[in-house]
């Protein structure tokens, strides 16, 4: 496995629409090795997720995993999930406010509105069907990662730029209120 370099905001690769991956291509040793690198790079950077496009490969693959994450200590856990060609369907019209960060946007966080309930369909890393309903904070994580595949960054969705904060200022001035809000969301949606 190889740790890959992560593209930073301003690099044009982050603004591309990533292309679909075919079944045969997915099974190649090169693509399976690439997915191993994606997972390893996400874990090394303490990301809650990483899209292939963030490591300069514009294909529709994302990895998501939330364990005991020092970047996001309040996030509900998500077991390692690799999504290939994911499609998100919004369920209902409930939304919540999520304070997001991104490995491609160093030292900046901001508040975005996310759908509270979604259905995610696609493939796992071997082409088996994935079909899951996700709610609450975890739904925000899925939406953030899948946005990358269409060249969208969380910055594009920040409605109020006054919410932007460095990580240090987030921790100092915003984290306590946000963690209290996250607890409400987790209580409401269960994940
Ligand atoms: Ni991101």
Tell me the residue range of the domain where 101 lies: 12-189
* CA–CA distance, 73 with 91 (Å, rounded to integer): 27
Q: What is the CATH number of the domain that holds 20?
A: 3.90.45.10
Q: What pLDDT sits at residue 191?
A: 64
* pTM score: 0.95
Identify whether 127 is part of a domain: yes
Reported as a single tens digit per residue, the pLDDT across 81-103 is 999 999 999 999 999 999 999 99
- At 116, the pLDDT band (50, 70, 90 cuts) reads very high
Structural domain contains residue 3: no
Query: Pseudo-torsion of CA 162, 104, 131, 88, nearest 10°?
Result: 50
What spacing in Å lies between the alpha carbon of 152 and ligand 1's midpoint? 9
Calculate how far, in angstroms, residue 184's C-alpha sits from the geometric centre of ligand 1. Answer: 24
Q: Which helix (H) or strand (E) holds 185?
A: helix 175-189
Residue 2 inside a domain? The answer is: no
> Which of the following is catalytic: 24, 94, 145, 168?
145
Q: For residue 105, give every residue at least 6 positions away whose Cβ sits within 8 Å of its Cβ, in sequence order, or none.
A: 8, 9, 153, 154, 155
145 labelled catalytic: yes
Q: Which residue has the tokens 């994580």?
A: 141
| Ordered DSSP codes for 31-64 | HHHHHHHHHHHHHHTT-SEEEGGGGT--BSEEEE
How many domains does the chain contain in total? Answer: 1
Cα 7 to ligand 1 centre (Å): 10
Q: 190 C-alpha vs ligand 1 centroid, how far in Å?
A: 23
State the average pLDDT for the chain. 95
Count how many residues are written for the chain: 191
């Amino acid at each position: 496995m190889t740790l890959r370099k992560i593209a930073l905001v301003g690099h044009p690769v982050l603004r591309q629409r990533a292309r679909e991956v075919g079944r045969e291509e997915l099974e190649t040793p090169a693509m399976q090795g690439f997915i191993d690198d994606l997972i390893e790079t996400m874990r090394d950077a303490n990301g809650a997720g990483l899209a292939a496009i963030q490591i300069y490969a514009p294909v529709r693959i994302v990895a998501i995993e939330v364990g005991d994450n020092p970047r996001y200590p309040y996030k509900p856990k998500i077991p390692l999930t690799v999504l290939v060609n994911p499609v998100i369907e919004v369920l209902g019209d409930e939304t919540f406010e999520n304070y997001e960060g991104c490995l491609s946007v160093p030292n900046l966080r901001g508040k975005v509105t996310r759908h509270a309930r979604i259905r995610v369909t696609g493939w796992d890393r071997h082409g088996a069907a994935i079909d899951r309903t996700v709610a609450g904070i975890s739904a925000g994580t899925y939406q953030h990662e899948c946005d990358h595949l269409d060249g969208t960054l969380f910055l594009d969705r920040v409605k109020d730029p006054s919410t932007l904060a460095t990580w240090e200022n987030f921790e100092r001035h915003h984290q306590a209120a946000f963690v209290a809000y996250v607890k409400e969301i987790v209580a409401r949606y269960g994940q």
